[in-house]
């Protein structure tokens, strides 16, 4: 079976090789500046794809769509992907506008929900994917963002992956509870700290300061955890940058920093079970 790898593309888009399959995660494939500004600063995306979109979707076995905001699944992806590709998406509360139904309305014919009324997961050829808690901001902005989920990938002989998704570090400790439950070997964190001032000054997902706290929780649950920080430097409303995240590691977090990879667009990260790979 091939080594598990995470080929980071841009924002939240990545190719994950895991359990012998190639997953495409949250494809945003538009050209630079192709769609609307979120913060009134610049059209989005603010950076180009590092490789052609056709290569991003090539030889993909499964597409996973965490939610249907434009920066996670856009019209360019809908147009480029084969409509018969296996597609997974969380089961959300609003059945009239469910992610599954909306993807089917775009012409996709092989869409399955990850959760069900009886279970929080789906198993595909020995790979189990759980949908877990996430909170895309709180108050008015959280209501506007709607349902989101984190996702857990598990398979025999593979690292357990927690893709935290578009979530803040919530006050109730639900995100921390996911770490306690699964003790993941790999954590993929969205740390861009986006803000839409027209709605609220509150962040929609973790900024650099929240991310460092979150990373500390992850290390306490698994001392060998490998953390990948993404969702930065690609959208005009993400005000927490890669440089901000590096700066957030103060003297008290030197040991924490060794767990964290901040990939460049187009970079491939090898995923290891029970081993920190970056000093």
CATH number, position 170: 3.60.15.10
Asked whether residue 22 is domain-assigned, the answer is yes
166: containing domain: 5-262
Asked whether residue 277 is domain-assigned, the answer is no
Task: Express as a percent the part of the chain with pLDDT over 70.
Answer: 95
> How far apart (Å, rounded) are the C-alpha atoms in residues 30 and 48?
8
> How far apart (Å, rounded) are the C-alpha atoms in residues 16 and 250?
31
Assign 141 a pLDDT band (cuts: 50, 70, 90).
confident
Asked whether residue 267 is domain-assigned, the answer is no
The count of domains in the chain is 1
Asked whether residue 17 is domain-assigned, the answer is yes
Question: Averaged over 43-47, what is the pLDDT?
Answer: 98
- pLDDT in the model for residue 93: 72
pLDDT higher at 132 or 202: 132
Assign 138 a pLDDT band (cuts: 50, 70, 90).
confident
> How far apart (Å, rounded) are the C-alpha atoms in residues 231 and 188?
10
- pLDDT in the model for residue 252: 59
Three-state SS across the chain? CCCCEEEEEECCEEEEEECCEEEEECCCCCCCCCECCCCCCCCECCCCCCCCHHHHHCCCCEEECCCCCCCCCCHHHHHHCCCCCEEEECCCCCHHHCHHHHHHHCCCCCEEECCCCCCCEEEECCEEEEEECCCCCCHHHHHHHCCCCEEEEECCCCCCEEEEECCCCCCCCHHHHHHHHHCCCEEEEECCCECCCCCCCCCCCCCHHHHHHHHHHHHHHCCCCEEEEECCCCCCCECCCHHHHHHHCCHHHHHHHCCEECCCCCCEEECCCCCCCCC
Query: Rounded to two decimals, what is the model's pTM?
Result: 0.95
Question: Averaged over 29-51, what is the pLDDT?
Answer: 96
2-33 tens-digit pLDDT: 899 999 999 999 999 999 999 999 999 999 99
70-122 tens-digit pLDDT: 999 999 999 999 999 999 999 987 656 899 999 999 999 999 999 999 999 99
Asked whether residue 135 is domain-assigned, the answer is yes
Of 14-18, 127-131, 212-216, 273-277, where does mean pLDDT reach its minimum? 273-277
Asked whether residue 279 is domain-assigned, the answer is no
Question: Averaged over 235-247, what is the pLDDT?
Answer: 95
Asked whether residue 275 is domain-assigned, the answer is no
Asked whether residue 110 is domain-assigned, the answer is yes
């Amino acid at each position: 079976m091939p080594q598990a790898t995470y080929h980071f593309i841009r924002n939240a888009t990545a190719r994950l090789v895991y359990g012998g399959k190639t997953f495409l995660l949250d494809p945003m494939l538009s050209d630079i500046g192709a769609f609307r500004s979120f913060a009134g600063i610049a059209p989005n995306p603010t950076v180009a794809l590092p490789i052609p979109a056709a290569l991003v979707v090539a030889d993909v076995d499964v597409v996973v769509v965490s939610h249907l905001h434009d920066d996670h699944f856009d019209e360019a992806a809908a147009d480029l992907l084969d409509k018969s590709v296996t597609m997974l998406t969380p089961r959300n509360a609003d059945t009239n506008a469910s992610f599954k139904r909306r993807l089917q309305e775009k012409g996709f014919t092989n869409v399955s929900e990850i959760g069900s009324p009886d279970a929080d997961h789906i198993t595909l050829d020995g790979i189990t994917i759980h949908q877990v808690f996430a909170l895309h901001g709180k108050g008015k902005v959280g209501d506007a963002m709607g349902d989101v989920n984190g996702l857990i990938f598990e398979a025999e002989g593979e690292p357990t992956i927690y893709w935290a998704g578009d979530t803040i570090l919530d006050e109730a400790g639900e995100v921390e509870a996911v770490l306690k439950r699964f003790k993941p070997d790999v954590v993929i964190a969205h740390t861009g700290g986006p803000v839409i001032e027209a709605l609220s000054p509150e962040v929609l997902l973790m900024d650099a300061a929240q991310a460092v706290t979150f990373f500390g929780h992850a290390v306490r649950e698994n001392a060998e955890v490998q953390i990948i920080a993404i969702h930065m430097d690609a959208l005009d409303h993400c005000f927490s940058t890669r440089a901000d995240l590096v700066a957030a590691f103060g003297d008290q977090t030197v040991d924490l920093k060794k767990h964290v990879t901040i990939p460049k667009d187009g970079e491939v990260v090898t995923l290891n079970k029970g081993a920190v790979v970056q000093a």
